[in-house]
A and B are shown apart, each in its own frame.
Chain A
């Protein structure tokens, strides 16, 4: 038995001439909360579609909970809970009936009322046909179906779409509680804050490949984003500041000197250098945002880098 909840090896999926996934090796450990990030068209959805056996891979293998996603799909699907992307509900069936169906299909013994209550659907709402649901209510219902049978692995594809901030918070609490219970949680999102708040590790997908897998903190540190340091000076330096390790994009404008510092020590070195040639009166430091960090791992940033090697990738976005 493997202790990986999700594992793909050399996974490739081509649609005609288009390569959606390109030799993907993904490993999600049992018991972790894994955030799956990437811009549209990066191959995120196709990866999840392969994991759920909605599409067949061109080459490579994929398994979850040690079970092959195609050969063992029936057993596998009894043990996972899924909120698929672009899911639809049966307009004429009640919310409660949806949950009962999932219970029946999985051979589970859950109480539908308790599950619906847990995701914040009242008994009255649960008895209404799903065709009358708002997007947010549909999302809650879909989550209730995913929780049926206390799955070992939860796969949530863009689960926050349609949820208000309150709903997103409740979703986070449920994700954490499920993880506490022992479930591995794999969820995709383009809302970085959602991912940062709960994920133990994140994987960033771009151009059909994983461009980074790590904790958010480490990714942020390793990304070329760095920190933007702005010094107010009482007079502009008369000579060039020269090169410093891990300091880029030095800019002198009236009354200020700016630079991007990739390491904490670089900030100090930069300030010392400026102090050597002029007098700093104030200092402001802006850490790179999550968006900038994210951008530094995806295509746009790489294109920038190629065009202008000296520029700090993504920071000027």
Chain B
């Protein structure tokens, strides 16, 4: 009851802000625009076009999701409206979950609009390939939700909005911009220490590469579109392992954030 009211309030409040429209526009531009651009600028088949677009979009969407979520609690903390909310019956847990639902809904609405726009662009430019739109939007949607959860976790542990912004930027750099480099560095370090043979890529290193939501979403999309390998024997070629990683991202950051937020002094 409290959770639902918090979520509805958050949707109403955030929905009246220009942020939602900016987010939707950004998502539409990134999904439809980039797919369209890939479609007209290459002569590749539709499957390749989608794959290319996906690789680009996974860099852009996390920015949108993190921006949407990182101020969900710190903003209210700084304005003092959190004090009003906490004076009323909802608990900190109710507020956190309500915010998660509200912001996730905003992100999904934006993603859905982006998906429809992408579909139109693809049909108009390439005259087919709509069946690829389902995995395309599913895994982009899951990844968006995962980054909303990360952003909210950051918001829950940050005392100020400035700190939340700094953390969100750091998380983006580590998980999205530099993860390949980090993975390569760890691999090279393992070789150096004699833990690993040069050129080999054991399961733990592959799992490490799969950890960020954007990487997991990419792997899941690739596996799903490569054809019927949802239950592949090799987990790294499967849909289920990266999907599991994505689902974990929906839960872990928020749970971690709650542990801190539960005890935080709201002065």
Q: Which residues of A line the B interface, CB within 8 A? A: 15, 49, 52-56, 73-74, 77-78, 80, 82, 84-93, 97, 101-102, 104-107, 142, 145-146
Contact = CB atoms under 8 A, between A and B. Distances in A.
Interface string B81-118: 11110111111000000000000000000000000000
Contacts of A90: 9, 13, 81
28 contacts: A15-B265, A49-B265, A49-B267, A55-B267, A77-B89, A80-B87, A84-B80, A86-B83, A87-B80, A87-B83, A87-B84, A87-B87, A89-B84, A90-B81, A92-B13, A93-B9, A93-B12, A93-B16, A97-B12, A101-B5, A104-B5, A105-B2, A105-B5, A105-B89, A105-B90, A106-B89, A107-B89, A145-B84
Nearest to A76: B89
A93 B265 contact: no
B91 A54 contact: no
A80 B86 CA distance: 12
A84 B79 CA distance: 13
A87 B89 contact: no
Nearest to B78: A88
B89 A52 contact: no
Give the 10 A-B CB pairs with smallest separation, nearest first.
A88-B80, A88-B79, A82-B87, A88-B81, A92-B16, A55-B265, A54-B266, A105-B88, A84-B83, A77-B89
Contacts of A145: 84, 88
Among A53, A85, A101, residue most surrounded by chain B Cβ atoms (within 10 Å): A101
Nearest to B79: A88
Given A55-B265, A55-B267, A93-B9, A102 B83 contact: no
A84 B87 contact: yes
B76 interface: yes
A74 B34 CA distance: 49
A41 B16 CA distance: 38
Contact of A77 (B16, B82, B88, B263): B88
A42 to B, nearest CB: 15
Contacts of A102: 88
Given A55-B267, A92-B13, A78 B5 contact: no
B95 to A, nearest CB: 11
B198 to A, nearest CB: 51
A174 B2 CA distance: 28
B41 interface: no
Contacts of B1: 107
Among A54, A82, A102, residue most surrounded by chain B Cβ atoms (within 10 Å): A54
A101 B9 contact: yes
Interface in B1-53: 1-2, 5, 9, 12-13, 16-17
A55 B17 CA distance: 31
Contacts of A77: 87-89
Contacts of B79: 88-89, 91
Contact of B89 (A55, A78, A146): A78
A49 B267 CA distance: 7
Interface of B: 1-2, 5, 9, 12-13, 16-17, 76, 78-84, 86-91, 263, 265-267
A255 to B, nearest CB: 55
Contacts of B78: 88
Contacts of A106: 88-89
Given A54-B266, A74-B91, A106-B89, A88 B9 contact: no
A53 B86 contact: yes
B14 to A, nearest CB: 8
A56 B265 contact: yes
Contacts of A78: 89
A105 B3 CA distance: 9
Given A101-B9, A102-B88, A89 B81 contact: yes
Contact of A86 (B2, B16, B80, B88): B80
A202 B82 CA distance: 29
A49 B266 contact: yes
Contacts of B13: 90, 92-93
A87 B88 contact: no
A142 B80 contact: no
A271 B63 CA distance: 82
B84 A142 contact: yes
Contacts of B76: 88
Given A55-B266, A93-B9, A84 B84 contact: yes
Contact of A73 (B84, B91, B263): B91
A82 B79 CA distance: 17
A142 to B, nearest CB: 7
Nearest to A81: B87
B12 A88 contact: no
B86 A87 contact: no
Contacts of B80: 84, 86-88
A150 B16 CA distance: 31
A147 B106 CA distance: 33
B29 to A, nearest CB: 25
Contacts of A101: 5, 9, 88
Contacts of B84: 84, 87-89, 142, 145
Contacts of B16: 92-93
